[in-house]
Chain A
Amino acid sequence: MLTRAERQRGYAGGGLVFAGIVVFIALAVFALLSFNSGESDRPFFDAYVWRILRFTLLQAGLSTLLSVALALPVALALARQPNFPGRIWIIRLMAVPMGLPVLIGALGLIGIWGRTGVLNSALATIGLSEPVSIYGLSGILIAHVFFNLPLACRLLLAGLERLPPDYWRLSASLGLPARSIFRFVEWPAVKPLLAGITGLVFMLCATSFTLVLVLGGGPAATTLEVAIYQSLRFDFDPGRAISLALLQIAVTATILALMALLPTPKNDSAATGRAARRFDGSDLGMRVWDGTIVILAVAFLCLPLISIALAGIRADLVRLLTSAIFWKAAWTSLWIAFLAGVISLTAATAIINARAAIADARGPGITARGFSTLLASLSSLVLLVPPVVIGTGWFLLLRPYGDVASFAPLLVVMINAMTALPFVMRVMAPAFATHRQRTARQAANLGIFGFARLRLIDLPVLISPIATALSFAMALSLGDLGAVALFGSEELVTLPWLVYSRLGSYRTADADGLAFILAILCLALTVAGTAGHRVGKDGQQ
């Protein structure tokens, strides 16, 4: 249905983007592989490296287990209580940690679980002296559960809500007790999702950088990503950074390969909040149990968020907002985020158009179909090589050509654009596909092509998913510490970097205030993006 020119443009754009991303990643990996550290006496993988690998996998495994195991009762309770007060807001709350910059979440968690945090103060007043530690393994676990429990919970809840409402009427009429409902209805609905969710959460925890940097970091609690950063930034030991980076790629490749074998959790139909009537949640015992679980989960998620807000308000916001360094950081953050967002969206559009062009061709050859699959897997390729590894590679690559600091902003933009690509694709691809399905025949029949088509047919509908994708990408980049951690300097200061360095120099109040401002910025972006989306949707109907 596309014209010949449209199809050729599609192929060309897809090819360019594909080549660009592959070259960008491959050069970084190549630089790592070919680097000669000059210390041939040390084994490539020494005891230190193995210890870090072990810890990376251990914390990821435990984090995953805790997140998913605790998410299950919460999802069951929310599904069973469709009339729970504020249920829709609780489900929306579950989306907040996913959009919250990780660094800010970490600060909130410290506010609750830290040595002088609310929880330990409360424990002290009732006479318990042993504080819960937010640092080290226990802290990393708490933080990973904070970020991943809501994700797992939403996916599980969506699975439960996909069940036909008749099942609950049937269960009630057959008089199935709670145990039978779990065994015969709920568990069979949830079980096929668990593998995919576990894989996703494990991947996120194994590659988690910021949380481990802030809450772990000591030699006993360091993951591969943080160790790469430390060996480059503090020890300046590129040899070790390279062994760690290669190990990291091996780990992510293994996880991705395993995940490819598992069914992926359906993200497109995440919990809508529309729930079927349940007849098994009305007796008192069940209500008390469900209520307790949901309230505990809400407290666990809400308290750190409240702590961020309170600590932020207590900070000297006026002084922070009028300081030159804040404006410099904010300005840098915003233009990096905007550029990264635009690049990410451009790449995503090219990929989507190229895949559509291939799908449109009558009987595409094996090459074309292979290329289409490759394009689809680009997102995974981006996940395969984590930002810190790409950064390390380019750091080595550019060092001979002058001060790395002068290339730094561009690198941060590119890395952030790539990190955002999977998310941008997830927002844009389905919207573009639906739009094409609705309009392609008509537009071809009426002969609407090129700019007229863009202006009259495509933009009015697609502007809202584009806005959503851009705001997500910008929020992601705005809150990111991973890429900028390697390159941050006097010349390159972003907001997260400023928060992190204030935290490092024990100016906690400033860090809290800046984190609060950053959180509001990210929240505003996300709200703006999704609000536009909603209006657009209504407009279509």
Chain B
Amino acid sequence: MTASDPSGIRLQNVGLTLGAQQFRFDCELPAGAITAITGPSGSGKSTLLNLIAGFEMPESGRVMIGKRNVAALHPSERPVSLVFQDNNLFAHLDLFTNIGLGIHPALKLSADDRKRISQALTRVGLGGYEKRTPGTLSGGERQRAAFARALVRQRPVLLLDEPFAALDPGLRQTMAALLLDLHRETGNTIAIVTHDAGEVRQLADHALFIDHGEVTLQAEIEVFLMRRDVPGLTEFLDL
């Protein structure tokens, strides 16, 4: 859980066909850094994330997390936590249960585990919300709860699929700041799919640009923001 953990992500010649679309990914997401995954709609950003998370199995190539090829592993066996745009929480279960399931999948929790859940909730600004159900929370609060679960799971990799897309612009800033704080505390490797150039500037150390199922640019953020020769990237950054 420190920056020295071997939690860098590498996709080597990963090939996948979904329907009529072909994907070929070759890229690296450095350990302990925040990498933004950007690109036009339908270019394959979420597919890349699904390959890392284990919801898609590559037809060829290797998906390395640290020194391990995880390409054949079930999603639960990968050292990964997830936050989607919505539905990160089971709507009928309270926050305590939702987060507790991240510690033990049959909810067998020790006294220490229970304390950790409450601490995580407090850390994301939801102290005392254990018994609340997701339906009674605002969109931002629900995403905070999802972060709390990622905290207790203590996985070295955190994958975020447009986690703030459903929130108001002002709230996005606050949530991005919270994410940065948590990242500095845990030193985890983060991959975040985003449509928002502002988010890329605020959060990312590295960035990938994906177009038509391929990574057309991967670079450190300063370089990424300066490049003007990659088709589609300028439009994305100017938006």
Residues of A within 8 A of B (CB): 164, 166-167, 169-170, 172-177, 179-180, 183-185, 188-189, 277, 279
Provide the residues of chain B in CB contact with A277, threshold 8 Å: 55
Complex contact A172–B75 (CB within 8 A) = yes
Asked if A176 and B105 sit within 8 Å, CB to CB, the answer is yes
Bound Cα distance A189, B93 (Å) = 11
Residues of A within 8 A of B86 (CB): 164, 166
Given contacts A180-B107, A277-B55, whether A169 and B84 have CB atoms under 8 Å apart is yes
**Residue in A170, A177, A184, A188 whose beta carbon sits within 8 Å of that of B88 in the complex:** A170
Q: Quick check: A173 and B81 within 8 Å, CB to CB?
A: yes
Q: Which of A172, A174, A180 contacts B54 (CB 8 A)?
A: A172
Decide: A173 and B80 in contact? CB cutoff 8 A. yes
Interface SS of B by simple majority:
loop
A194 to B53: give the CA distance in the assembly, Å.
35
Return the CB mask of B80-101 against A: 1 if under 8 Å, else 0: 1110101110101100010001
Docked-complex contact B90 and A173, CB < 8 angstroms: no
Q: Is B102 an interface residue (CB 8 A)?
A: yes
Confirm or deny: B106 has a beta carbon within 8 angstroms of a beta carbon on chain A.
yes
Q: A172-B55, A175-B76 are in contact. List 11 more A-B contacts (CB 8 A).
A: A166-B84, A166-B88, A169-B84, A172-B75, A173-B54, A173-B76, A173-B81, A174-B101, A175-B77, A176-B76, A279-B75
A73 to chain B, nearest CB (A): 20
Cα distance A353–B87 in the bound complex, in angstroms: 40
Known contacts A184-B101, A188-B93, A279-B55, A172 near B76 by CB under 8 Å: yes
Tell me the smallest distance from the CB of B75 to a CB of chain A, in Å. Answer: 4
How many A-B residue pairs have C-beta atoms within 8 angstroms? Tell me.
65
Interface size on B, residues (CB 8 A): 23
What per-residue 1/0 map shows which CB atoms of B104-117 lie under 8 Å from chain A?
01110000000000
In the complex, whether B228 has a CB less than 8 A from a CB of chain A is: no
State the CA gap A166–B84 with chains docked (Å).
Answer: 8
CB of B157 to closest CB in A, whole Å: 11
B184 proximal to A (CB < 8 A): no
Q: Which residues of B contact A189 (CB under 8 A)?
A: 92
Instruction: Return the CB mask of B56-93 against A: 1 if under 8 Å, else 0.
Output: 00000000000000000011110011101011101011
Give bound CA distance, A188 to B97, whole Å: 13
Contact of B53 with A173 in the complex, beta carbons under 8 Å: yes
Residues in B neighbouring A167, C-beta threshold 8 A: 87, 90
What is the CB-to-nearest-CB distance from A276 to chain B, in angstroms, rounded to a whole number? 11
**With A184-B90, A184-B97, A279-B75 given, is the CB distance from A169 to B82 under 8 Å?**
yes
What is the CA–CA distance of A164 and B87 in the complex, to the nearest angstrom? Answer: 7
Contact B75 A169 (CB under 8 A): yes
Instruction: Check B105 against A173 for contact (C-beta < 8 Å).
Output: no
Bound form: Cα–Cα A167–B54 in Å = 15
**Residue on B with the closest CB to A179?**
B106
- Shortest Cβ distance from A165 into B: residue: B87
Complex A-B: 8 CB contacts under 8 Å = A164-B87, A169-B82, A173-B76, A177-B105, A184-B90, A184-B93, A188-B93, A279-B75
CB contact between B76 and one of A174, A184, A185 (< 8 Å): that residue? A174
The residue among A173, A176, A179, A189 with the most chain B CB atoms within 10 A of its own CB is: A173
**Minimal beta-carbon separation of A460 from chain B (angstroms):** 35
